[in-house]
Structure 1
């Protein structure tokens, strides 16, 4: 493959250029949202990939691009190490680099696949189109693998750059990984335009616009209908810093913050939402704590709060020896005004090195520990579950029973894995703890929660200790939010859900079919051109 000549300083240093381009591409993600920069970087990636002479160079180009993108986009991870004194704080920066060294393999695999399938297709239109099509399909496929293999790490998928542009409505058809194909093809159209293939670029752009219009129509057909009745929700953000969250001396003060922001019961039945791990009590073992929480609720209220579920070897004694704790779940508890536990969800997708330490005997021997305090690992729950919330009545007003899906913190980033499809909920609750995510982590986390709302066509409620807590409607719009480091509460009406989208029915089967179709089309086009 050959192409129009690039500047000598670009052709002479392709790998440092790709490292910088990848770093700049990360500005397309939240909090900056500079998505045109990401498209320009993809156009440059395609231009250099087109000139690669060997598969090794094609792989290296994608690897350098991915390395730059992940190191910059995941910079917030380094901040989390400042809360763990068992390890040196500087290790956080090394951790970001080491994680990026692994994650960069996935975009590198996509560029190698595109180069191998499209090479020899000729310098003109067919070659450029074949390369773009295969890279688009390969990128979606490798992003799905990144989110799946070795427990998965789906943070900052390429498609999230479209959030708020109108293109994001395509996620209702082809999901987040399908949006990645749109980004690559938009970058490809830009590359074709800049290399002088104006007609081909225009044709490519028109096809993309037609696809986006189809997504908009599907979004229009799946608009939320009128709610059966207004449901009052109250979301609490206590602004409890991470260094105080697990401090036993601060437990009473933290509870008073939560209680004060929860406010007095109103005549309207409420759904009250507290953050992940909001309380340190063992709710299933401490009836006094349940009574303490129930006292905050009116007759029609229901409380959703984060708190751990512990498993002990001995369960008959009121006191436990230090060695009796076997494991724990990171859980969400549903509590009624009578102090009854109406449901519990256990987090299924745990954070490696955060909530459990892989290869614990080896890594603990060299001084490593998990970032969440404690020496016992969390155990995973069974996966997405829909919890039934009881009806409420207060002041002559009633609330019908509701169904709630739960995704605790990090779980919300996994496209297609957040809802129990056989028992579709009315909304998703995402209790989280973003207090250790630095400045870039919370807005990136919120952006990915918004994409889940678009894909599943249902509202998402987020409650975090330090922000960003938010109410997200079924179209992915933030209808109310509390910014970072604000102690406050949101009281509003729960947005209605929309009818199930195609993605909500079929999940990641649709983007994977699209990815394979693009790869096959690119391969077929390359063969014809040869």
Structure 2
């Protein structure tokens, strides 16, 4: 008896007979659709539908076009997700502003190589939709890990960020990381594609059930999770000065921004009991604190004994003769007398922002750094844990560093909370909420609360399950008195790091190979 005709048979034939340019255009549209998973939209429907369309194209077309389909998909995805980079170019005067859009397009095309290679390899391994989906999900996951590591790494906007819409599914990041969530988005897309097609293929029913199962997990898990106990830790005062980049880049702007932070802090300290710490954003103080004890004393004037100031600042590196050689983007801990208790130097610097790669080539071409100044920043040694009086053990992170899974915590000295200070005023409308979403993913992966402070928002506290506990409005001054919740036990991801999603990828590859060997 013949198997029933596939509902999708006419569509598959249409996709197979499209001109090459039309197939690439559809793959590009699928990439645009998948970018709806990123903030400020943040809908998982976009990545799932976009992945479904790409998988149908890969299954219907020959291997020769698979690389192009993956490239077009990735280009559309990154093009939408990285528009904030163009906004950053409007805050500098060394390069034409239109070059920002060239940078967005160029970086998007380069990053699209990762899904392109994943698509090509998956299509070479199988022509059938079910194993093709498993292979592509696994290879996409592995290339996402590589994207965060090669050429200094750029892990911005994992495809799985859209699962934050369904908190239950997002909790799986504690097991397989954010990269694993990206694979789940592709599996969910394959589930929809298999529902319409792949009739008679081995493993079809299992793949069809993936998406409804994930929806069930997403809805049910938050309802059955045991509530976390109320936060009982020391009180922290978060200060969001409301300082825009344009405010700093005028004569006297750096000094006024410090004065604004001091004024807000003193007003907030006058309205309640002394907090354990006051926290200011990244680069609040852009004067060398270690060389100016009078400034340090002024910053903490009026602080009660035992209250610390944690502030973003700049450290300078000098030669033996006193000549400036470099700078460091730093986070300082000062006591109530202005004494420096600790300094953390940002380890993962932004290429083109904090240092100029290939300066010998870039400068003759008219390229410059986005951040004013001629000195490149120098990187610090990497994750540390601060043990400061009166505070829980803290993993300090500065801005861009929070986007890198498995690289923000010293796992040999597990902290009790993550502190990330940032300056999202550079990033336009879409960058800050995307940055904030990635901080939520790090909280879930590590099972640690995240305290986040920026000059223009989004500041606040994220719970160890990624839940939003306290959040400020953007583009206005604000202060928050908060208590960070207790951490969870070390998650599987916290213990295994990127090996956890790597093992998940190997499982998907093995499952794909097993199904591919089965006869129809």
Asked if 1:478 is matched to 2:468, the reply is: yes
1:300 to 295, 306, 311: 306
Corresponding residue number in structure 2 for 1:6: 11
**Matched-pair contact (CA < 8 Å) for 1:31–1:440:** yes
In 2, Cα distance between the equivalents of 1:220 and 1:457?
Answer: 18
Corresponding residue number in structure 2 for 1:436: 426
In structure 2, the CA distance between the partners of 1:205 and 1:343, relative to structure 1 (3 Å rule), is farther
| Displacement of 1:270 | 2.5
In 2, Cα distance between the equivalents of 1:380 and 1:205?
Answer: 47
| Displacement of 1:520 | 2.5
Question: How high is the TM-score relative to the length of structure 2?
Answer: 0.92
Asked if 1:59 is matched to 2:64, the reply is: no
1:39 to 23, 43, 48: 48
In structure 2, the CA distance between the partners of 1:43 and 1:275, relative to structure 1 (3 Å rule), is same
1:310 to 316, 323, 330: 316
Corresponding residue number in structure 2 for 1:141: 142
In 2, Cα distance between the equivalents of 1:167 and 1:241?
Answer: 36
Alignment of 1:89-238 (within 5 A): 89-119=97-127, 127-165=128-166, 166-195=168-197, 197=199, 203-206=206-209, 224=228, 229-238=232-241
In 1, Cα distance between the equivalents of 2:45 and 2:284?
Answer: 39
| Displacement of 1:497 | 1.2
Corresponding residue number in structure 1 for 2:290: 284
In 2, Cα distance between the equivalents of 1:94 and 1:146?
Answer: 20
**Matched-pair contact (CA < 8 Å) for 1:172–1:456:** yes
Q: For residue 343 of structure 2, give the secondary structure of its aligned residue in structure 1.
A: strand
In 1, Cα distance between the equivalents of 2:200 and 2:481?
Answer: 52
In structure 2, the CA distance between the partners of 1:223 and 1:426, relative to structure 1 (3 Å rule), is farther
Corresponding residue number in structure 2 for 1:395: none
| Displacement of 1:224 | 4.8
In 2, Cα distance between the equivalents of 1:20 and 1:213?
Answer: 28
Corresponding residue number in structure 1 for 2:89: 81
Asked if 1:384 is matched to 2:383, the reply is: yes
| Displacement of 1:211 | 7.5
In 1, Cα distance between the equivalents of 2:187 and 2:487?
Answer: 31
In 2, Cα distance between the equivalents of 1:237 and 1:431?
Answer: 10
**Matched-pair contact (CA < 8 Å) for 1:190–1:201:** no
Corresponding residue number in structure 1 for 2:353: 354
Corresponding residue number in structure 1 for 2:369: 370
In structure 2, the CA distance between the partners of 1:180 and 1:243, relative to structure 1 (3 Å rule), is same
**Matched-pair contact (CA < 8 Å) for 2:130–2:198:** no
- Where does structure 1 lack aligned partners over 5 or more consecutive residues? 120-126, 392-400
Q: For residue 258 of structure 2, give the secondary structure of its aligned residue in structure 1.
A: helix
Stretch deviating more after TM superposition (425-434 or 519-528) = 519-528
| Displacement of 1:435 | 0.6
Q: For residue 5 of structure 1, give the secondary structure of its aligned residue in structure 2.
A: helix
**Matched-pair contact (CA < 8 Å) for 1:137–1:515:** yes
Asked if 1:492 is matched to 2:482, the reply is: yes
Corresponding residue number in structure 2 for 1:456: 446
**Matched-pair contact (CA < 8 Å) for 1:172–1:219:** no
- Could you give the per-residue CA deviations for residues 238-272 of structure 1, whole angstroms, max 9, x where no partner exists? 11110222445123322221112212264343321
- Could you give the per-residue CA deviations for residues 475-521 of structure 1, whole angstroms, max 9, x where no partner exists? 11111111221111111222221111111111110110110221122
**Matched-pair contact (CA < 8 Å) for 2:52–2:189:** yes
The aligned length equals 504
Q: For residue 373 of structure 2, give the secondary structure of its aligned residue in structure 1.
A: coil
**Matched-pair contact (CA < 8 Å) for 1:307–1:330:** yes
In 1, Cα distance between the equivalents of 2:87 and 2:254?
Answer: 24
| Displacement of 1:314 | 4.2
**Matched-pair contact (CA < 8 Å) for 1:224–1:497:** no
| Displacement of 1:79 | 0.6
| Displacement of 1:51 | 1.3
In 2, Cα distance between the equivalents of 1:438 and 1:226?
Answer: 35
In 2, Cα distance between the equivalents of 1:255 and 1:347?
Answer: 21
**Matched-pair contact (CA < 8 Å) for 1:346–1:381:** yes
In 1, Cα distance between the equivalents of 2:34 and 2:122?
Answer: 20
Corresponding residue number in structure 2 for 1:525: 515
- Could you give the per-residue CA deviations for residues 135-190 of structure 1, whole angstroms, max 9, x where no partner exists? 11011000000111000100011111101302100001110111111111100000
Q: For residue 452 of structure 2, give the secondary structure of its aligned residue in structure 1.
A: strand
1:239 to 242, 248, 253: 242
2:31 to 4, 13, 22: 22
In 1, Cα distance between the equivalents of 2:273 and 2:448?
Answer: 27
